[in-house]
């Protein structure tokens, strides 16, 4: 993970270059005369665990991919920290996915700039876009972004990396598209993760009896999905839109009595993406990729589109030849960090966290690590509840919570990257 201005994040984006019509998933693309660009991106906003331990910490916007995207990338995906070396030495300088529909054999150049962050991972291998800096103190390069060149074809012209069954990569690869043939191999899309910093322009305020969604921008939001999940049950509502500079208020009793059916929720999310201009196949792949967050993330999740102008400023995009049409859809998954009233909306969370607190001191290593990961995923929501658990009449629970809070304060509540690489730990040891 890369830290910028005390924030860390990995931005998983996806870009789809598509004609106005698309075939069934898995089929080859229909011949297209027009060159249309569809781009989608997802940003997860949450409070960092270490920051949550500081009572004075303000909610921080972290643009991030879910943990499985960061830690479960296929081995062939290149990590920026290992790949990028400045073109010359400086002494003091220590999920986008692009799908292409178009003419067979067309040459395509893509350049994405990262003015508010830097790349974290990518595939196929790009070239670096650098600008030389020169002053009295330093002379050296500044990384501006990344770029690719390739040729489109209906069938892969080079080696295609294998991906295990069930991996989200397969869902993105199933979108009917041309293959992108680069020097490093063939893939049905271009992938990268990059960090960026941006506060959401649709804010959520949780009160005792209502959730207020305020649009700070001068453009309407389009559809907004609101999901509440206490670990035992989920509820969701689809807000048609929030007008410019307006506020929509959702009553607690209405939201908590809303539908929670998983298939209806996923269908609503697919409809949301299609309303933003994505094709049916693109929407299906996006929702499949993010399904664990949509169905199982405990707490609040408010999914709303970033204004196009803001999105353009985060990741300026240049494509040659010039597309006939460009649609960009960036969506924030906001967990509403710092909203203390969330606990009262999550009645099933108490039993879940009481069990997690006990699991923290379990005899089995895997049990302790699983409990740590679930608590880390909860972020400041777990810390808010820990204040109540610390008063439990059960001494075992109180001790487990104190151990958890101490690890949170020291920043050591972190899951090992790969459990299989770690030897067994005795109770009380740190990984």
* pLDDT given for residue 13 in this prediction: 36
Mean pLDDT of 279-305: 92
CA distance 220 to 217: 7
Residues constituting the chain = 431
Give the range among 13-17, 291-295, 307-311, 384-388 with minimum mean pLDDT. 13-17
Name residues whose C-beta falls within 8 Å of residue 197's C-beta, 6 or more positions apart in sequence: 4, 5, 7, 9, 61, 63, 116, 117
Q: Ranked by mean pLDDT, which of 72-86, 271-285, 335-349 comes out on top?
A: 271-285
CB 394 within 8 A of CB 388: no
Q: Is residue 44, in this structure, part of any structural domain at all?
A: yes
Give the range among 60-69, 344-353, 419-428 with minimum mean pLDDT. 419-428
DSSP code of residue 59: P
* pLDDT given for residue 405 in this prediction: 67
* pLDDT given for residue 407 in this prediction: 61
The structural domain count of the chain equals 2
Mean pLDDT of 33-54: 68
Last-in-domain residue among 138, 168, 194:
194
Q: Is residue 257, in this structure, part of any structural domain at all?
A: no
At residue 237, the 3 state secondary structure works out as: strand
From the CA atom positions of the chain, what is the Rg in Å? Answer: 23
More confident residue, 106 or 33: 106
CA distance 309 to 313: 6
Q: Is residue 388, in this structure, part of any structural domain at all?
A: yes
Q: Is residue 297, in this structure, part of any structural domain at all?
A: no
Last-in-domain residue among 194, 211, 243:
194
CB 376 within 8 A of CB 242: no
pLDDT in tens, 98-119: 778 788 888 999 999 988 878 8
CA distance 83 to 79: 6
Distances (CA, A) of 409 to 6, 60, 298, 355, 396: 16, 17, 22, 21, 20
pLDDT in tens, 136-191: 555 556 788 999 999 989 899 988 999 998 888 899 899 988 889 999 899 988 88
CA distance 242 to 222: 7
* pLDDT given for residue 31 in this prediction: 52
pLDDT in tens, 219-235: 999 999 999 998 888 99
CA distance 11 to 146: 14
Return the closest-CA partner of residue 115 out of 38, 1, 198.
198
Give the range among 59-68, 327-336, 370-379, 399-408 with minimum mean pLDDT. 59-68
H helix or E strand, kind and range, residue 293 = helix 291-296
Q: Is residue 230, in this structure, part of any structural domain at all?
A: no
Q: Specify the pairing of strand 247-251 against strand 210-215.
A: antiparallel
Name residues whose C-beta falls within 8 Å of residue 149's C-beta, 6 or more positions apart in sequence: 107, 108, 109, 110, 127, 182
More confident residue, 231 or 421: 231
Mean pLDDT of 249-274: 95
* pLDDT given for residue 399 in this prediction: 73
Proportion of the chain above pLDDT 70, given as a percent: 69
Q: Is residue 287, in this structure, part of any structural domain at all?
A: no
Last-in-domain residue among 168, 194, 220:
194
Mean pLDDT of 25-45: 69
CB 25 within 8 A of CB 2: no
Q: Is the pLDDT of residue 69 over 60?
A: no
- Contacts of 406-414 with C-beta under 8 Å, sequence gap 24+, read 407/372, 408/49, 408/50, 408/52, 408/53, 408/383, 409/53, 411/49, 411/50, 413/49, 413/372, 413/375, 413/376, 414/372, 414/376
Domain residue limits at 414: 348-421
Q: Is residue 401, in this structure, part of any structural domain at all?
A: yes
Q: Is residue 316, in this structure, part of any structural domain at all?
A: no
pLDDT in tens, 209-222: 999 999 999 999 99
């Amino acid at each position: 993970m890369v830290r910028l201005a005390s924030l860390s994040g990995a931005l998983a984006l996806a870009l789809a270059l598509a004609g106005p019509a698309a075939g069934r998933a898995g089929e080859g693309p229909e011949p297209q005369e027009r060159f249309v660009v569809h781009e989608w991106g997802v940003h997860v906003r949450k409070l960092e665990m270490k920051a949550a331990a500081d009572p004075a910490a303000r909610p921080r916007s972290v643009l991030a991919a879910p943990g499985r995207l960061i830690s479960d990338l296929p081995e062939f995906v290149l990590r920026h920290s290992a790949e990028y070396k400045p073109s010359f030495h400086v002494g003091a300088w220590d999920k986008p996915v692009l799908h292409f529909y178009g003419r067979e054999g067309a040459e395509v150049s893509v350049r994405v700039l990262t003015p508010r962050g830097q790349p974290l991972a990518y595939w196929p291998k790009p070239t670096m876009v650098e600008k030389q800096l020169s002053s009295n103190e330093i002379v050296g390069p500044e990384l501006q972004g990344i770029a690719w060149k390739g040729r489109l074809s209906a069938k892969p012209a080079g080696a295609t990396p294998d991906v295990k069954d069930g991996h989200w990569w397969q869902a993105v690869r199933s979108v009917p598209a041309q293959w992108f043939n680069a020097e490093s191999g063939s893939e049905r899309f271009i992938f990268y993760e990059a960090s960026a910093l941006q506060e959401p322009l649709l804010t959520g305020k949780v009160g005792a009896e209502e959730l207020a969604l305020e649009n700070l921008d001068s453009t309407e939001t389009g559809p907004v999905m609101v999901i509440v999940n206490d670990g035992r049950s989920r509820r969701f509502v689809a807000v048609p839109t929030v007008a410019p500079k307006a506020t929509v208020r959702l009553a607690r009793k209405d939201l908590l009595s809303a539908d929670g059916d998983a298939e209806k929720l996923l269908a609503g999310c697919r409809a949301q993406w299609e309303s933003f201009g994505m094709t049916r196949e693109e929407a299906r792949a996006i929702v499949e990729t993010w399904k664990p967050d949509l169905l199982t993330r405990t707490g609040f999740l408010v999914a709303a589109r970033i204004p196009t102008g803001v999105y353009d400023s985060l990741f300026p995009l240049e494509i040659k030849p010039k597309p006939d049409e460009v649609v960009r859809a960036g969506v924030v998954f906001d967990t509403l960090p710092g909203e203390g009233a969330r606990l009262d909306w999550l009645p099933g969370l108490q039993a879940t966290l009481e069990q997690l607190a006990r699991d923290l001191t379990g005899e089995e290593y895997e049990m302790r690590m699983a409990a740590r990961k679930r608590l880390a995923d909860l972020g400041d929501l777990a810390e808010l509840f820990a204040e109540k658990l610390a008063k439990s009449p059960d001494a075992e629970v109180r001790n487990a919570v104190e151990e958890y809070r101490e690890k949170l304060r020291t920043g050591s509540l972190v899951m090992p990257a790969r459990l299989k690489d770690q030897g067994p730990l005795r109770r009380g040891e740190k990984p």
